[in-house]
Amino acid sequence: MLWQLFIVFLKVGLVSFGGGYAVLTLIQREAEGRGWTDLGEFQEVVAMAGMAPGSIATNAATLIGYSEAGVLGAIVATVGIILPSLILVILISAFFLKLYNNDWIKSSFYGLRPIVTGLIIYAAIHFGLGGRGEAVPSWSMIGMLLICAGSIVMVTKYKVHPFAVILLSAVAGIVVF
């Protein structure tokens, strides 16, 4: 079990270009495929992961690891998702810094960046609509939309700190739902 957690999150860590949001759906897929979480549980994991500092993907790994195999599971999953970043950054800073001016590398990132954008857009669609297909009372749908729109305005227009937005939305959630 521990080994499996480690390997799965190692794999996720290796492809986590673009930070947390881009790999959320990948984590969900891996976790659901192995029966570690169902959709509702995963949405709770994401909400809690977003409440803590740090990368949302790393936090999700910690939470899933803990729920599957306790403290040790949490540690193993966290180490797994961080390890590829650690090794790659060391390798790049030791040997490959010059490569950033290489034409092939530049072209690769030119193609990779839109993919990461696509992954994040998909994550937004997926978590925005995902699992709300069943008969959800429209009141909660409207509430979600209002909180979501309000948060966007607060973050972009008034530059409110994301943590403050998350706290406010928790309060809003208690009021609305």
Partner 1 sequence: MNDAQSRRFKLLRQLFGVFLRIGPSTFGGGYAMIAMIEQEIVHKKGWMNEEEMAEMMTIAGSAPGGVAVNSSAFIGYRLAGILGAVTAVFAITLPTFMIVFLLSLLSTIFKDNEKVTAALQGIHASIVALIIVAACKMWKSSILDAATLMIAAIAVLLLLFTSIHSLYLILGGPLAGIAVVLCKRKLGMAVRTEKPPYEEKRELQYPEYYI
Question: Binding to partner 1 (CB under 8 A): which residues in 41-70?
Answer: 43-44, 46-59, 62-63, 66-67
Look at the block and give the residue holding tokens 């960046």: 113
Residues that contact partner 1, how many (by CB under 8 A): 102
* 8 Å CB contact between 109 and 135: no
The answer to whether 76 contacts partner 1 (rule: CB under 8 A) is: no
Q: Is the Cβ of residue 94 or residue 135 nearer to partner 1 in the bound state?
A: 94
Of 1 and 89, nearer to partner 1 (C-beta) is 89
Among 3, 35, 95, 114, binds partner 1 (CB under 8 A): 114
Give backbone dihedrals phi and psi of 54, rounded to 5 degrees, phi first. 90, 180
Compute the least distance from the CB of residue 38 to partner 1, in Å.
15
> Which lies closer to partner 1 via its Cβ, residue 35 or residue 159?
159
Q: Output the CA torsion 50→64→20→105 (10° steps).
A: 170
For residues 12 and 81, the answer to whether their CB atoms sit within 8 Å is yes
The backbone region for 19, taken as left when phi is positive above 0, alpha when psi lies in -120 to 50, beta otherwise, is left
Position 95 contacts partner 1 (CB under 8 A): no
- List the one residue from 7, 38, 102, 106 that touches partner 1 (CB under 8 A): 106
Residue 162 as a binder of partner 1 (CB under 8 A): the answer is yes
Q: Judged by CB under 8 A, does residue 136 bind partner 1? A: no
Sign of the alpha-carbon dihedral angle for 7, 40, 126, 45: negative
